[in-house]
Amino acid sequence: MSIIVNQISKTYGDQKALDNVSFSIDKGEVVGFLGPNGAGKSTMMKILTTYLKASEGNGKVNDHDLNANPLEVQKSIGYLPEHNPLYLDMYVREYLEFNNSVYKTDKERIDEVIDLTGLRPECHKKINQLSKGYRQRVGLANALLHDPKVLILDEPTTGLDPNQLMDIRQLIKNVGKEKTILLSTHIMQEVEAICDRVIIINKGHIVADKSLKELKENQEQVIEVEFDYRVEEEALKNLSKVKEVKNIHDFLYEITFSVEKDMRSEVFDFAHDNGLKILKLNQKNASLEGLFQELTKE
Ligand code: ADP
């Protein structure tokens, strides 16, 4: 196991930010740590990097105990904090050289991480001349300098424009081929795009821990449809992947499909083939986003 979290709780004053959290992450997994703002994601990540100490419980990173061996933990982790703290006045290479001297790794590693993160065209610039996307690349390059086995990325794409976001996601995917990654986000699509597994946290509690494959297989979709005439429920049940049909009232039906694909066009075709008109068509819980909302609602 790359990461083991064992019954960790954290209180700030009288506020419990994490309540008895446990999970483990296998070597090579890319795991999305998903939750609304204030759920406890950053707190958990800071505890894993030993920046904060847990109030109760313990954990391990690469077999190093968080409480007993914080230095060894830090050596095996690359961390990109939420507010990527960069020295804006430094040149990209200068910044990486500065941090490299702290880690005491050899100089060739600087060119390796510059190439790995696609920084080569911008590496002669000062950090304050870079776009937010390139600044994140510098943060990632920095996190990779000591070639850690585990990467902890706190909201790595927040504040990026759509192009930068795609680039950084791709970069994380590439890096993830070689590393174990825990990345926090409040965007479900991000998890779908990058991760093998998702751990959902809400108010300091883990509310789901599933592989993406499992989530997609178990996905349900509800379509609310109103026709201009009565339909036999049995006829609607003959549509593919239907799990349940309910007649809500009059000509309004709720059809539950056990499939991820958008089934509205099938319902539309059904109406057309049966000479019916659709007065209303509404899709609910159509995506993993729906599941996230359901698990984290107030
Ligand atoms: P997330 O990263 O999911 O947005 P955080 O871990 O930052 O959540 O915060 C979890 C909870 O702990 C929030 O209610 C937040 O207000 C609180 N919190 C975080 N850091 C501190 C702190 N230094 N002092 C007091 N409360 C904090």
Cβ of 296 below 6 Å from ligand 1:
no
CB atoms within 10 A of CB 226: 16
pLDDT at 291: 76
40 alpha carbon – ligand 1 mean position (Å): 6
Residue type, 184: S
DSSP, residue by residue, 55-113: SEEEEEETTEETTT-HHHHHHHEEEE-SS----TTSBHHHHHHHHHHHHT--THHHHHH
pLDDT at 285: 61
pLDDT at 192: 87
For residues 110 and 125, what is the distance between their CA atoms, to the nearest angstrom?
15
Q: What are 224-252's pLDDT values in tens digits?
A: 999 999 999 999 999 999 999 999 999 99
**Residue 7: pLDDT over 90:** yes
Largest CA distance in the chain: 75
Which protein residue's CA is at the shortest distance from atom 24 of ligand 1?
12
How far is C-alpha 195 from the chain's CA centre? 7
pLDDT at 155: 93
How many helices (DSSP H) and strands (DSSP E) are in the chain? 11, 14
Cβ of 37 below 6 Å from ligand 1:
yes
Q: Which of 20-29, 182-191, 209-218, 260-269 is predicted least confidently?
A: 209-218
Average pLDDT, the chain: 92
Band the pLDDT of 188: cuts 50, 70, 90.
Answer: confident
- SS3 (DSSP) at 107: coil
Cβ of 176 below 6 Å from ligand 1:
no
Q: What are 96-137's pLDDT values in tens digits?
A: 998 888 777 788 899 999 999 999 999 999 999 999 999 999
Indicate the pTM of the whole model.
0.82
- SS3 (DSSP) at 179: coil
